Structure 1
Amino acid sequence: MDPVMHSFDPPERFVAGTVGAPGQRTFFLQARSGRQVVSVALEKQQVTVLAQRVDELLDELMHADTDILIPAVAPLDLADDGPLEQPIDEQFRAGTMTLSWDTDDERIVIEVYPIDAAEEEPEVAGEVLVVRLPAASARAFVERARKVVSAGRPDCPFCGEPIDPVGHLCVRANGFKRRA
């Protein structure tokens, strides 16, 4: 069976976003080109790691001895603070993600496979989201992803776990309930 490939080369829009209140948010990667919109659910940590790895790859390319023009920061005209496209229809839940640089097209390539593909080889997954981004768009993705992740609950200064509006039981404070 051939996998269903959701390919965006390049997308008109590729963002990380959330639905729900802090502490109960669902995270999504969403790509759009024309009327084609694909939303993939994932964990907060996956968004964090993806943004970090994209940023690191761009930094490495920027400092490499090549003729590739890589912006150090996201261009202002590519900032995207808009909400996710509605309706949000979850295509699948993300499992394995790969990241690479296509030297011929000078684009970052992000491949997202369903969580059930982690048990199999990703190449035989039933679906895959493939997004190919120019460097400037990738920087804009990183900036928005970091904003989305940091917009949640504040972290406890002692244990690093999120603090709910009513406080939390901090293991480093011997279970003492701290107030936000």
Structure 2
Amino acid sequence: MQAITAGLVLSEVDCQSVSGATLTVAPGEVVGLSGASGAGKTRLLRAVADLDAHGGNIRLDGCDQQSAPAHAWRRRVTLLPAEAAWWYPRVGDHFPEAPAATDLQALNLPPDLPQWPVTRLSSGERQRAALLRALAHGPDALLLDEPTANLDAATTLRVEAWLLRRIRADALPTLWVAHDLAQIARVASRHLRVRDGRLEVVA
């Protein structure tokens, strides 16, 4: 009987811009992904989230992506894009329940944020609220595409600390795309670069 590997496992994944992507992300581990614009980082995340067609095999805690209904897979494997969409007029309508006051405080968001109209959010508030929303739905793995791109340096550090606490507490295998190599050094246990259509290890 084949042993089940915990975490997120990619085996020879081919998408539009990347070929033969193979890696295992353990529960609670952050793997940083870098690469030039257009190299294929976002395409790879979308393949893992089952949003784009791809070859190869992707598994989460032994569950094969191809055997899971797409909506069920996407509930378990949450992709936070660089520009998250908002569907309802009020922030709180996007959450299954009111965010914890401790999380709002940790992200430097106001306690009455759920009552705000989405149009009131600044770009930085929108990004932090999207992170909070992504975690509120209880994913089993996280795919983060430039999650702090619109934030100042102090807020970035604050968000990193909050995210790392949640990732470790919830044992979430996480792929974190960033252009900021210093950020990858702070948050990730491993650093992979997408170059010439392949994943390569950065020492």
Normalising by structure 2, report the TM-score: 0.22
Q: Quick check: which one's strand share is greater?
A: 1
TM-score scaled to structure 1, two decimals? 0.24
Kindly indicate whether structure 1 or structure 2 has the higher relative contact order, using CA contacts under 8 Å at least 6 residues apart: 2
- Which is helix-richer, 1 or 2? 2
